[in-house]
């Protein structure tokens, strides 16, 4: 979200402008080093960083449909940091923001410092530091690069929201309490961060499959290529007619091997992944029900509130289970609100899970025993 003019007061705008200018100055030096490479010197910086900025500008227009007509787009800070390095990343996103502000009037001119501090510097730096740390910890594989980019992009977006709230607390002009802004911003941006993380990880994965040398964050991870010639070349040498198929077979085998490598996890992962997804889902449900539910709004939810306002619920009879031990989402005889709510949530998840799985298993067993259904199903299952 681009901050407009007048949202942050003048002194804080000027201060963030100074921060942004300093960061861009540092990045200009760093980007020469990142893009220079191989003793080619700094003159590669301008065209390469310019094209990467154009890429970020374009990719922000790529719409990712979520559901029911809504769609999101990439912010690009984490992606830039991982693909081209933190300094170039800051530089490219800053240039994109500058051009959006000056040309398209998207984001205020005086808010440029705020926008750069928050969307260019924070996302890029947070994402890159986290990414580096994770890559160090995780095993040296390509998959860990994808995982690390997922996590770093996931954190970078709420981090930007946090910095925005901080700037707002220092110089916000609107009279909305900082706590409210924090909740709204971080809440919304955690959701946005999930989308950003998925897209960033997928995009980094796509680049790393084709040109792993281009991914700055994965440098030093791939081994230098070795030339393996001896075993293939010797048997092909004597017979003239056999040379051709052997020579043709070698690249074919090589390309097969190369293709098989990225492809192989997909079919192999299918049976494993269901269990993993299932476990992760249960864990997430338990965490939400047990821990986070305490922080949920205590006021009645939308429907209940409307019912209350309109007087609908006057006729509402108390639920038959109101005396049950779990009524109103809390466990009877436990006075601590947090413990009680959490426990009720956990028990609820467990019960729902048990009933759901029970129904599922019954249905499945019946389909399996039914010969007609089994016949239909077998080709699918194979």
Q: Which of residues 76-115 bind other proteins (CB under 8 A)?
A: 83-84, 91-92, 95-96, 98-99, 101-106, 108-110
Number of H helices, E strands in the chain: 14, 2
Q: For residue 85, which of 135, 33, 50, 134 has the smallest C-alpha distance?
A: 33
Structure tokens at 265: 């996890």
* Window 167-186: contact mask with other proteins (x via CB under 8 A): ------xxxxx--x------
Q: How far is the CB of 315 from other proteins (least distance, A)?
A: 26
Among 130, 155, 160, 204, binds other proteins (CB under 8 A): 204
Quick one: 146 or 340, whose CB is closer to other proteins? 146
Phi, psi dihedral angles at 326 (to 5 degrees): -115, 15
In the complex with other proteins, the residue whose CB is nearer, 1 or 307, is 1
Both tokens assigned to 207: 């680049």
191 forms part of the interface with other proteins (CB under 8 A): no
Cβ at position 374, least distance to other proteins in Å:
29
CB within 8 A of 198, min separation 6: which ones?
150
Question: Is 24 near other proteins (CB under 8 A)?
Answer: yes
Please, which of residues 305-334 interact with other proteins by CB under 8 A?
A: none
Q: Which residue's entry shows tokens 């074919």?
A: 252
Neighbours of 185 (CB within 10 A): 19
User: Closest CB to other proteins among 202 and 232?
Assistant: 202
Q: In the window 142-171, what residues touch other proteins (CB under 8 A)? A: none
Residue 26 beta carbon to other proteins: minimum distance, rounded to whole angstroms: 12
Backbone angles phi, psi at 222, to 5 degrees: -85, 140
Output the CA–CA distances (angstroms, integers) from residue 89 to 71, 81, 122, 247, 300, in the order listed.
Answer: 25, 5, 11, 44, 45
Nearer to other proteins, 52 or 160 (CB): 52
Interface stretch with other proteins, choices 46-54, 336-344, 356-364, 374-382 (CB under 8 A): 46-54
As a whole number of angstroms, the distance between CA 147 and CA 158 comes to 18
DSSP string, 335-370: --HHHHHHHHHHHHHHHHHHHHHHHHHHHHHHHHHS
> Distance (Å, rounded) from C-alpha 207 to C-alpha 203?
6
Q: Which of 22, 206, 279, 303 binds other proteins (CB under 8 A)?
A: 206
Single out the residue of 30, 55, 334, 350 in contact with other proteins (rule: CB under 8 A): 55
Tokens representing 280 are 């992760």
Closest by CA to 169, choosing from 26, 58, 8, is 8
CB of 102 to other proteins, least distance (A): 6
CB nearer other proteins, residue 177 or residue 324: 177
Which residues share a beta bridge with 65?
Answer: 71
Q: Closest approach of Cβ 90 to other proteins, in Å?
A: 11
- Whose Cβ is closer to other proteins: residue 24's or residue 121's? 24
Binds other proteins (CB under 8 A): choice among 15, 19, 26, 48:
48
């Amino acid at each position: 979200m681009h901050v407009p003019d007048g949202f942050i007061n003048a002194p804080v705008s000027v201060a963030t402008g100074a921060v942004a200018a300093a960061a861009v100055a540092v990045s200009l030096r760093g980007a020469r080093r990142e893009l220079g490479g191989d003793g080619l010197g700094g003159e590669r910086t301008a065209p390469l960083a310019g094209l990467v900025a154009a890429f970020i500008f374009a990719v922000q227009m790529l719409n990712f449909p979520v559901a029911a007509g809504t769609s999101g787009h990439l912010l690009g800070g984490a992606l830039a940091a991982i693909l081209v390095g933190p300094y170039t990343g800051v530089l490219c996103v800053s240039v994109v923001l500058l051009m959006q502000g000056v040309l398209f009037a998207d984001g205020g001119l005086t808010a440029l410092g705020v926008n750069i501090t928050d969307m260019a510097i924070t996302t890029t730096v947070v994402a890159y530091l986290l990414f580096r740390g994770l890559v160090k910890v995780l095993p040296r594989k390509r998959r860990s690069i994808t995982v690390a980019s997922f996590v770093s992009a996931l954190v970078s977006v709420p981090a930007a929201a946090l910095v925005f709230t901080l700037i707002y607390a220092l110089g916000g002009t609107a009279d909305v309490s900082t706590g409210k802004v924090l909740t709204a911003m971080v809440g919304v941006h955690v959701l946005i961060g999930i989308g950003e993380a998925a897209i960033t990880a997928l995009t980094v994965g796509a680049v790393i499959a084709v040109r792993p040398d281009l991914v700055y964050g994965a440098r030093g991870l791939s081994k230098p290529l070795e030339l393996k010639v001896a075993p293939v070349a010797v048997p092909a040498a004597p017979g003239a007619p056999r040379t051709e198929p052997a020579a043709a077979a070698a690249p074919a085998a090589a390309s097969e091997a190369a293709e098989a490598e990225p492809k192989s996890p997909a079919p192999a992962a299918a049976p494993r992944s269901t269990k993993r997804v299932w476990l992760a889902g249960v864990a997430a449900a338990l965490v939400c029900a047990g821990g986070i539910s305490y922080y949920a709004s205590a006021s009645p939810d939308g429907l209940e509130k409307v019912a209350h306002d309109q007087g609908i619920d006057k006729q509402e009879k108390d639920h038959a289970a109101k005396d049950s031990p779990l009524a109103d989402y809390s466990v009877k005889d436990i006075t601590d609100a947090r413990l009680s709510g959490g426990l009720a949530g956990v028990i609820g998840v467990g019960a729902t899970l048990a009933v759901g799985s029970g129904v599922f298993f019954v249905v499945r067993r019946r389909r399996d025993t039914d010969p007609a259904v089994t016949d239909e199903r077998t080709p699918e299952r194979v």
